[in-house]
Structure 1
Amino acid sequence: MTRFVTIANVSEIGPGDREVFDVEEHYIAVFNVDGTYYAIEDVCTHDDGPLADGELYGFQIECPRHGARFDIRTGAVLSMPAVIPVPRYDVRVEGDEIQIGFED
């Protein structure tokens, strides 16, 4: 079952922006791409570096440390040196609230 947790208001993450939230002992990066929100763990699976500090190219986030790329929609690895996908989270907007889904 998915449990949703409110992490921000839509006004806090404008189009093209991203924010990192500490939610239930997870650092979660939330991206706003053309009005749609995506959420992934803010940790590169290659070296545990912060992903949200990297450049965003469309739906690809590039780790600022070694250049691994991940799809923010799925968490899939798109380029080495990473080989393990990054965890992703379901996102929904309820009214003005951005909510992240956790599997219980």
Structure 2
Amino acid sequence: MSGYVDIGAVAEIAEDTPVVVEIDDVPVVVVKTGGEVFAINDTCSHAEVSLSEGEVYNGTLECWLHGSCFDLRTGKPTNPPATRAVPTYRVKIEDGKVLVNVAEPSEYGES
């Protein structure tokens, strides 16, 4: 796997609207909220459905199927039925571009 990958301009990502991209065969949801950009794995740890179809609020991404919310910073579920975290990925903004690194997922998603 590579390091940081350019997924596009930060200005093109709508606030609180999940955007799904694939990086090195990894499905990733990118979310801009509260002036920050986050990247989290697109697969719910409970039902293995796409998180990108869910809603963003209060720093979380809600799974559309059963309602578990995942903290965008840590990937940890904030409510049931999910009990396991999903991986989060490093994000940096350079020259107006969003760069995501899936090579080293967060330790939270490893559980």
Structure 1 Cα separation of the partners of residues 104 and 69 of structure 2: 25
Q: TM-score, normalised by structure 1?
A: 0.90
Matched length: 103
Q: TM-score, normalised by structure 2?
A: 0.85
Structure 1 Cα separation of the partners of residues 58 and 10 of structure 2: 20
Structure 1 stretches of 4+ with a deviation exceeding 4 A read none
Partner of 2:104: 103
Partner of 2:108: none
| Superposed CA RMSD | 1.7
SS at match of 2:11: helix
**What is the 5 A alignment of 1:1-104?**
3-101=3-101, 102-103=103-104
Aligned AA for 1:82?
A
Q: Which has the higher strand share?
A: 1
Q: What is the Cα deviation at residue 34 of structure 1?
A: 2.2
Q: Which has the higher helix share?
A: 2
In the alignment, structure 1 segments of 5+ residues that lack a partner are: none
Structure 2 Cα separation of the partners of residues 91 and 56 of structure 1: 18
Over the matched positions of the two proteins, sequence identity in percent amounts to 33
Q: What is the Cα deviation at residue 11 of structure 1?
A: 2.4
